[in-house]
Amino acid sequence: MEYKNLVVTIEDQIAIIKFNRPNVLNALNIETLLELEKILDELSNNDAVRVVILTGEGKAFVAGADISQMSKFNPQEARAFAQLGHRVLSKLENLDRPVIAAINGYALGGGCEIALACDLRIIAETAKIGQPEVNLGIIPGFGGTQRLARLCGAGVAKELIYTGDMISADEAYRIGLVNKVVPQDKLLDSAKEIAQKILQKGPGAIRLTKTVINRGLDSPLETAKELEIETFALCFASGEPQEGMKAFLEKRKPNWIK
């Protein structure tokens, strides 16, 4: 798979997508968003990949939307750009397997928003993250106002967005924006370690968990609880629990159905 602005590698059922425009700190232009959409579409049809890791080349994860491109937008083009970002990040959020953001450096604006659309965020201790759009006279437009508020609470989201502050990895961990802070040189290994752990579990159970959590968060609590009950029952139609529990009782590792 050849891309201009992304480098994609697949090994051991893990796809690593690396943003690769280091000269502009991996800023997101339209072309990069379309490439990200293309690889997500391809991966959603590739059962050999069970976990995805996103990271960046150089000193940034993604330093936001491409300001050179955005600076020329009229309102219609701005709307189309925000719509494109939303479409692609919804595909990322709803990809039916876990996605881990391995934040190697600056994750700003659209870069923070990409990380927010992932299931888990691991950050290098030297990286910085934030939503600095107000410095440019714009607001987050790829879901930041909503996903950040849902993940960290409205008060935290408003503080980060109103001030435009770039915060440290430790601060991001303190406010619950990231799951884990690791040394820069251990970042990818740590992400792969988590991916490997996930790969040992029932693939169907992981996929259904993601759906139940994502759909549940968009639903009233009673509906979400019903969804959990029905999905719990659905697990038993796959053969996976039968193998998982049999393996436990026989004191062996499960052989998950591929």
Residue ranges binding ligand HXC (CB under 6 A): 24-25, 27, 63-68, 81-82, 85, 106, 108-110, 132-133, 135-136, 140-142
- Active site residue: 31, 113, 125, 226, which one? 113
Q: Closest distance between ligand HXC and the C-beta of residue 174, in Å?
A: 21
Kindly give the pairing relationship between strand 6-11 and strand 14-19.
antiparallel
Side chain identity at 96, as an amino acid letter? D
C-alpha closest to that of 28 among 46, 54, 1: 54
Q: How far is the CB of 33 from ligand HXC (least distance, A)?
A: 10
User: Are 65 and 110 in contact, with CB atoms under 8 Å apart?
Assistant: yes
Tell me which of 2, 11, 93, 133 is the catalytic residue: 133
Q: 70-84 in b/e burial notation, b at 16+ Cβ within 10 A?
A: beeeeeeeeeebbeb
According to DSSP H, which parts of the chain are helical? 30-44, 67-70, 75-94, 110-117, 144-152, 154-163, 169-174, 187-199, 203-217, 221-235, 240-249
Give the residue with the Cβ less far from ligand HXC, 144 or 202.
144
Phi, psi for residue 51 in degrees, rounded to 5: -140, 145
Nearer to ligand HXC, 85 or 244 (CB): 85
226 among known catalytic residues: no
Alpha helical stretches, state H, 153-220: 154-163, 169-174, 187-199, 203-217
- 203-217 and 240-249 helices, crossing angle to 10°: 120
Closest residue to bound ligand HXC by CB: 109
Q: Which is nearer to ligand HXC, 140 or 202 (CB)?
A: 140
Closest distance to ligand HXC from the beta carbon of 253 (Å): 44
Nearer to ligand HXC, 22 or 216 (CB): 22
CA 195 to chain centre: 13
> Chain centroid to CA 75: how far?
28
Cβ 80 to ligand HXC, closest distance in Å? 10
CB 204 within 8 A of CB 211: no
Comparing CB distances to ligand HXC, the nearer of 54 and 82 is 82
CB of 67 to ligand HXC, least distance (A): 4
User: Catalytic annotation on 113?
Assistant: yes
Active site residues: 113, 133
